[in-house]
Structure 1
Amino acid sequence: MSRLIRSRLQRWINRRIPRSDVQLLTQRNLFILPTTAGVMFGMLLLIMLITGINYQNSLIYLVTFLLGAVFVGAMHQTHRNLSGLELTLVLAGEGFAGDDILFRLRATAGKDEAIALILSADDFSVRLGHVPSGQSMDVNVPVPSAFRGYLQPDRIRIETRFPFGLLKAWSWMRPVSAGVVFPRPIVAPDVISTLVNGEEAASSCSVQGNDHAELRPWRDGDMSQRVMWKRYARSGQMVVAQWEADKGSPQWLDFNAFPGTDHELRFSYLSWLVIERGKSGARFGLNLPGQVIEPDSGQAHATRCLRSLAMWGEEKPRGALAEPHGTRRNVDSTKAAAKAGAGL
């Protein structure tokens, strides 16, 4: 029964507050109710009124009506704090799965000042403070994420309890634009790409015949063939030879280079590799099922690859309700990736 009531209430709110990146707060979409302190204050006024009637005490009447006027004045002031305020989504953030994605909002006050504002999404809240009349202030609201893909907050709440905390006025913003959540990076094992200069190789190329190698400490997941065992026997230090192709030849980051691995884990491996290549400024390309990004270098190229990893197989949220913590994986895309990983 409670689930049915919540569902109907949510549909009613969604009709009153449609999705938009610009939200003007008016009487149509503003709500106000007493807080716990306000309810206690109202009960106290009722008891004082009953006492004044019972004893016909003019002083009790005076204090009761005076405090009642304060309550009514606080109600008008609390509602006016939000009335005429305009919220605009300036930037839908980007980040990695599991992190808080920052959505930048701009609050523009109308003819009245907006005082003691609190913006929140899920369990995270940010205090905006005082927005002078006719001026704007930007604030970053963190939205939790869990999955790669698109992150569209269902509702961002704005609230005020000024001046006395007896009442709270609130509304919501339901953005259309979605943030982008990159796969969470996981340290990738050493593998050999199945691509050579963008072409599918008939078999994995051996790296042992190259002339240039870079030594680095051994990491969990490295292939035993790459360990310099003679050096380990002499010094006891376990190092790995990271062989490179001819100078100037790009390294390909390949989805198919991790056979037998869950495809979401492959995206996490590729995400880590993209970050590492971006830090070193190395030239690299990215091969995904049905999509190839040509080799390049630089931070802009790394960001483009991360976005491709995030959005591969995902569709932008279009429904009235958004999935919590990000989009889910598309079933058809999951099957396609599984086939690609199996070499079918």
Structure 2
Amino acid sequence: MNNLFRQRWQRWINRRIPRSDLQTFSQKTIFILPTGAGVVFGLLLVIMLLTGINYQNSLIYLTTFLLGAVFVGAMHQTHRNLSGLELSLIQPGEGFAGDDIPFRLRLKAGRDDAVAVVISCKDSRHTPVHVRSGQAEDLVLPVHSAHRGYLRPDRIRVETRFPFGLLKAWSWLRPVSAGVVFPRPIAAPDSLSLVDDGEESEQARSVDGNDHADIRPWREGDLSQRVQWKRFARTGQMVVADWEGEQGSPHWLDFNAYPGVDHELRLSYLAFLVTERGKSGARFGLSLPGQMIEPEAGPAHVARCLRVLATWGEERPRDATVEPHGTRRQGFLRSSASIKEGQA
């Protein structure tokens, strides 16, 4: 019975508040109810009224009606605190799975000041904000993520209990835009890419074994085959040899370089390698089933590769289906089916 009531309530809310990155709150979309303190306050008013009727005491009548007028005035003020307020999603965030993804929001007050307005989403809550009439204020709401993929909060709640905390008025923003959650980086084992570099790889193989090499310190993510182990045994220094034939040759990060490994773990390996190449400024390419990014270097290239890893095999969330903490679970089934079809 509770689940049935909750589903009907959610459908009614969804019809009343459609999805949009900009929501202006009005009488149609603002809900108001007494808080716990407001319920106790109302009960005390009823008791005082019954006492005044029983004893025919004018002073009790006066006090009861004055406090009742305060309660009614607080109800109007609490509702007006949200009336005309605009809440918009400026920029959905990006980050790694397991982290809090920052969503940039903007509050713009209407004709009246918006006092002590609280923005929240599930377990995340922003400190109360005071926005003066006609002005706007930007804020960042962290949304927790658990899996890679698209992350779109089902509802972002806006609430106020101003002025006395006797009533609470609230509403929601149901955003359309979704953030992107990257795979959590996991240190990748040594492996060789299966992608053919064409002429560059042939040139690199033709000079393999020559003595013209640049020696540099070992960096995390370098292949063990490049480490000068004899020199390490002799001096204790971990160094790597870059052969002349490999200078400028792209280093491919290949999805198929980890056979027998779960595809989510492969993506985590690739995310680790992408971040490491980004730190070193190395030039690299990314190869995924059905998608390939040509070798480049730089922060923009790293960000592009991470987005591709995050959304590989995923679809943007639709209005009817919202996956909490990301879309990895649905993407896992789709991508697994595609891999099986490719193997068949």
TM > 0.5 fold call: yes
Counterpart CA distance in 1 for 2:258 and 2:330 is 20
Q: 2:232 touches 2:239 (CA, 8 Å); kept in 1?
A: no
Deviation at 1:20?
Answer: 0.5
Q: 2:227 touches 2:241 (CA, 8 Å); kept in 1?
A: no
Deviation at 1:112?
Answer: 1.1
Q: Where in structure 2 are the equivalents of 1:4-43 lying within 5 Å?
A: 4-43=4-43
Tell me the secondary structure at the aligned position of residue 74 of structure 2. helix
Q: Which residue of 1 aligns with 2:330?
A: 329
Deviation at 1:129?
Answer: 1.7
Matched positions, count? 336
Deviation at 1:197?
Answer: 1.5
Aligned partner of 1:335: which letter? A
Counterpart CA distance in 1 for 2:63 and 2:38 is 17
Deviation at 1:280?
Answer: 1.3
Q: 1:231 touches 1:238 (CA, 8 Å); kept in 2?
A: yes
Q: 1:278 touches 1:297 (CA, 8 Å); kept in 2?
A: yes
Tell me the secondary structure at the aligned position of residue 105 of structure 1. strand
Q: Which residue of 1 aligns with 2:109?
A: 109
Q: Which residue of 2 aligns with 1:175?
A: 175
Counterpart CA distance in 1 for 2:237 and 2:87 is 57
Counterpart CA distance in 1 for 2:37 and 2:321 is 33
Deviation at 1:326?
Answer: 1.0
Q: 2:88 touches 2:107 (CA, 8 Å); kept in 1?
A: yes
Aligned partner of 1:298: which letter? G
Counterpart CA distance in 2 for 1:68 and 1:93 is 46
Counterpart CA distance in 1 for 2:58 and 2:241 is 92
Q: 1:218 touches 1:239 (CA, 8 Å); kept in 2?
A: no
Q: Which residue of 1 aligns with 2:140?
A: 140
Counterpart CA distance in 2 for 1:262 and 1:209 is 35
Deviation at 1:217?
Answer: 8.1
Q: Which residue of 2 aligns with 1:216?
A: 218
Q: Where in structure 2 are the equivalents of 1:175-214 lying within 5 Å?
A: 175-197=175-197, 209=209, 212=213, 214=216
1:86 and 1:198, CA in 2 relative to 1: closer, same or farther beyond 3 A? farther
Counterpart CA distance in 2 for 1:243 and 1:162 is 66
1:299 and 1:73, CA in 2 relative to 1: closer, same or farther beyond 3 A? same
Counterpart CA distance in 1 for 2:287 and 2:157 is 41
Counterpart CA distance in 2 for 1:227 and 1:339 is 39
Counterpart CA distance in 1 for 2:320 and 2:75 is 32
Q: Which residue of 2 aligns with 1:310?
A: 310
Q: Which residue of 1 aligns with 2:129?
A: 129
Deviation at 1:22?
Answer: 0.9
Counterpart CA distance in 2 for 1:256 and 1:67 is 73
Counterpart CA distance in 2 for 1:294 and 1:107 is 41
Q: TM-score, normalised by structure 1?
A: 0.89
Q: TM-score, normalised by structure 2?
A: 0.89
1:298 and 1:218, CA in 2 relative to 1: closer, same or farther beyond 3 A? closer
Aligned partner of 1:79: which letter? H
Deviation at 1:335?
Answer: 2.8
Spell out, residue by residue over 1:76-134, the C-alpha distance to the aligned partner (whole angstroms, 9 max, x if none): 00000000111111101111111111111111111111110000011111024211111
Deviation at 1:188?
Answer: 1.1
Q: Which residue of 2 aligns with 1:266?
A: 266
Deviation at 1:172?
Answer: 0.3
Spell out, residue by residue over 1:193-214, the C-alpha distance to the aligned partner (whole angstroms, 9 max, x if none): 1113269x9xxx8x98475465
The sequence identity of aligned pairs, in percent, is 65
Spell out, residue by residue over 1:131-156, the C-alpha distance to the aligned partner (whole angstroms, 9 max, x if none): 11111111111111111110011000
Counterpart CA distance in 2 for 1:6 and 1:242 is 64
Cα RMSD (Å): 2.6
Range moving further from structure 2, 290-299 or 238-247: 238-247
Deviation at 1:215?
Answer: 5.0
Deviation at 1:230?
Answer: 4.4
Deviation at 1:241?
Answer: 4.8
Q: 2:93 touches 2:101 (CA, 8 Å); kept in 1?
A: yes
Q: Which residue of 1 aligns with 2:249?
A: 249
Q: Which runs of 5 or more residues in structure 1 are unaligned?
A: none
Deviation at 1:243?
Answer: 6.0
- Structure with a larger share of its residues in helix: 2
Q: 1:109 touches 1:135 (CA, 8 Å); kept in 2?
A: yes
Range moving further from structure 2, 324-333 or 174-183: 324-333
Q: Which residue of 2 aligns with 1:57?
A: 57
Tell me the secondary structure at the aligned position of residue 323 of structure 2. coil
Aligned partner of 2:122: which letter? D
Q: 2:228 touches 2:241 (CA, 8 Å); kept in 1?
A: no
1:188 and 1:163, CA in 2 relative to 1: closer, same or farther beyond 3 A? same
Tell me the secondary structure at the aligned position of residue 62 of structure 1. helix
Deviation at 1:338?
Answer: 5.9
Deviation at 1:192?
Answer: 1.1
Deviation at 1:337?
Answer: 3.9
Q: 2:218 touches 2:227 (CA, 8 Å); kept in 1?
A: no
